[in-house]
């Protein structure tokens, strides 16, 4: 058998390039063990005796997609190398065939005599590994990642090269971590990468599954629970990452979320601004905008923001109902001193569709933006976030980040929100946009930034 190329998939089935796995210097002995053991295992698992198991397992793994995979996008996904690795690792190490035994466990028992002691040891390590939920606390490019186990709060370092090019800080991972036999840890099989913003949804889902599982099997270990729910990692990835449903957002009043910009003209812009700023239901923000507020169930909530642009008064809000309410309110205050001109509407779906229709390309910022221009962009971010930390945020119960940092109940939610912002900014930087350091916000709010940084 000829040796694979450096960037070709490693024949051991790890999912990593040959150069980062069995082809790395000093790994020849381990490569032989991995290659031989997994070649034997795959030959065993794809024997015709398992055909009926594969038919059932494939449907459970892919659901109706395997029957509906007629579009080029779906067909490409189903036939991709990544999908093959994910399915094979789940079928081999999680799917239970008989007497609660996996294919790999049956193979280890039946083919014990045909395996060398090193191969048996390698197979036992893989049999003990299972998918778990991890949060990425730090990425060392080309070396590995520091992980936090979201169930046990244990920290570990995983040796990895190739995947560090697509993992960023605060990503959520569905990963099968296994000892490498030399004192380190490695990823085995397929790797599920979820963005930080779906962390709460995924954890809630697994918590519900764990409670249900515990009622039925109270003596099962955590490892058994995750192994028996290994396909859930794949289903959540399909639902939240590969084919996410468009978000259905509503305001606190229950109205559809629509970006609205209402424009009024006036001959007395400064006088009207002064009168608005003096009202109890207005707050002057650091950027000069006027935050329009009212009492809500969780404290004050922002209805919109008012600004002065020359001889225009502009209301920006997030529903048609709020825009209509703002118009009636402003006209009742100032009468014929203001003249309504128009309201521009844009739904969230329209915004997303516009983004989808733009051809994917690397941002020219990475190549063409001079240092002073990148600095100007960061300065804009600075101004935005210095205002943001004192503005009400819906995700924080309409509290400002500064207020949430002082409340023990809301502080964890604020920290998760900051992680999401950092996660999104780092991914944007990967596409060529200027990066941004959120470290000052943690310090300004008196928060200790978690993780191995």
Q: What is the pLDDT of residues 132-151, one digit of tens each?
A: 999 999 999 889 999 999 99
| Rounded CA separation 432/362 (Å) | 6
The model's confidence at residue 436, banded by pLDDT at 50, 70 and 90, is confident
Stated pTM of the model: 0.68
- When mean pLDDT is compared across 115-119, 180-184, 379-383, the lowest value belongs to 379-383
pLDDT band at 26 (very low <50, low <70, confident <90, very high): very low
Distance spanning both ends of the chain, measured CA to CA: 43
| Residue 18 vs residue 212, higher pLDDT | 212
Band (355; pLDDT cuts 50, 70, 90): very low
21: confidence class by pLDDT, cuts 50, 70, 90: low
Mean pLDDT, the chain, whole residue set: 84
Residue 315 has pLDDT above 90, yes or no: yes
Q: What is the pLDDT of residue 27?
A: 46
pLDDT for 146 equals 95
The answer to whether the CB of 252 falls within 8 A of the CB of 392 is no
What mean pLDDT do residues 400-414 have?
Answer: 94
Residue whose structure tokens are 């730090």? 138
The C-alpha atoms of residue 388 and residue 120 are separated, in whole angstroms, by 57
Contact 378, 436 (CB under 8 A): yes
- Indicate whether 365 pLDDT > 60: no
pLDDT band per the 50, 70, 90 thresholds, residue 298: low
User: Averaged over 64-71, what is the pLDDT?
Assistant: 67
> Looking at the predicted structure, is the pLDDT value of residue 108 above 60?
yes
| pLDDT at 14 > cutoff 80 | no
Residues with Cβ within 8 Å of 434's Cβ and at least 6 positions away in sequence, in order, are: 365, 369, 374, 377, 378
261-275 pLDDT per residue, tens: 999 999 999 999 999
Top-confidence residue, 244 or 282: 282
Query: b/e per residue, 260-294, with b = 16+ CB within 10 A?
Result: bebebebeebeebbeebeeeeebbebeeebbbbbe
Print the SS3 string covering the chain.
CCCCCCCCECCCCCCCEHHHCCCCCCCHHHHHHHHHHHHHHHHHHCCHHHHHHHHHHHHHHHCCHHHHCCCHHHHHHHHCHHHHHHHHHHHHHCCEEECCEEHHHHHHHHCHHHCCHHHHHHHHHHHHCCEEEEEEEEEECCCEEEEEECCCCCEEEEECCHHHHCCCCCCEEEEEEEECCCCCEEECCCCEEECHHHHHHHHHHHHHHHHHHHHHCCCCCHHHHHHHCHHHHHHHHHHHHHCCCCCCCECCCCCECEEEEEEEECCCHHHHHHHHHCCCCEEECCCCCEEEEEEECCEEEEEEEEEEECCEEEEEECCHHHHHHHHHHHHHHHHHHCEEEEEEEEEHHHHHHHHHHCCCCCCCHHHHCCHHHHHHHHHHHHHHHHHHCCCCEHHHCCECHHHHHCCCCCHHHHHHHHHHHHHHHHHHHHCCCCCCCCHHHHHHCCCCCCCCC
Q: Which residue has the higher pLDDT, 40 or 33?
A: 40
Flag whether pLDDT at 95 surpasses 50. yes
Phi, psi angles (nearest 5°) of residue 97: -90, -55
């Amino acid at each position: 058998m000829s040796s694979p190329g450096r960037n070709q998939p490693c024949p051991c089935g790890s999912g990593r390039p040959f150069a980062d796995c069995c082809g790395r210097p000093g790994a020849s002995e381990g490569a032989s063990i991995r290659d031989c053991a997994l070649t034997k295992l795959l030959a065993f698992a794809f024997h015709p005796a398992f055909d009926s198991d594969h038919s059932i397992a494939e449907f459970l793994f892919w659901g109706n997609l395997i029957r509906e995979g007629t579009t080029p996008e779906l067909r490409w996904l189903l036939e991709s190398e990544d999908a093959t690795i994910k399915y094979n690792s789940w079928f081999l190490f999680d799917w239970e065939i008989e007497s609660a035994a996996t294919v790999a466990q049956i193979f280890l028992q039946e083919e014990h005599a045909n395996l060398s002691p090193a191969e048996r040891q390698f197979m036992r390590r893989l049999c003990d590994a299972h998918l778990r939920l991890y949060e990425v606390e730090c990425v060392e490019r080309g070396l590995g990642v520091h992980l936090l186990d979201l169930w046990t709060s244990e920290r570990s370092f995983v040796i990895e090269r190739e995947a560090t090019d697509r993992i960023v800080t605060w990503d959520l991972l569905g990963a099968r971590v296994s000892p490498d036999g030399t004192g380190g840890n490695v990823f085995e099989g397929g790797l599920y990468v979820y963005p930080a913003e779906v962390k709460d949804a995924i954890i809630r889902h697994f918590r519900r599954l764990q409670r249900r599982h515990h009622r039925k099997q109270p003596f099962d270990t955590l490892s058994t629970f995750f192994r028996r729910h290994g396909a859930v990692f794949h289903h959540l990835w399909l639902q939240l990452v590969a084919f996410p449903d468009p978000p259905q957002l509503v305001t606190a009043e229950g109205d559809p979320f629509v970006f609205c910009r209402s424009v009024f003209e006036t001959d007395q812009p400064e006088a009207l601004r002064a009168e608005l700023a003096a009202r109890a239901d207005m707050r002057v923000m650091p950027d000069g905008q006027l935050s329009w507020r009212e009492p809500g169930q969780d404290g004050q909530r922002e209805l919109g923001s008012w600004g002065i642009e020359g001889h225009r008064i502009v209301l920006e809000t997030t529903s048609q109902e709020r825009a209509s309410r703002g118009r009636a309110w402003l006209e009742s205050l100032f009468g014929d001193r203001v003249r309504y001109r128009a309201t521009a509407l844009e739904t969230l779906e329209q915004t997303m569709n516009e983004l989808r229709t733009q051809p994917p390309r690397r941002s020219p910022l990475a190549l063409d933006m001079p240092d002073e221009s990148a600095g100007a962009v960061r300065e804009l971010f600075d101004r935005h976030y210095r205002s943001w930390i004192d503005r009400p945020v819906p995700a924080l119960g309409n509290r400002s980040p500064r207020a949430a940092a002082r409340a023990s109940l809301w502080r964890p939610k604020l920290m998760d929100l900051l992680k999401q912002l950092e996660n999104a900014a780092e991914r944007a930087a990967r596409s060529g946009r200027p990066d941004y350091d959120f470290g000052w916000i943690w310090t300004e709010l008196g928060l200790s930034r978690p993780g191995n940084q």
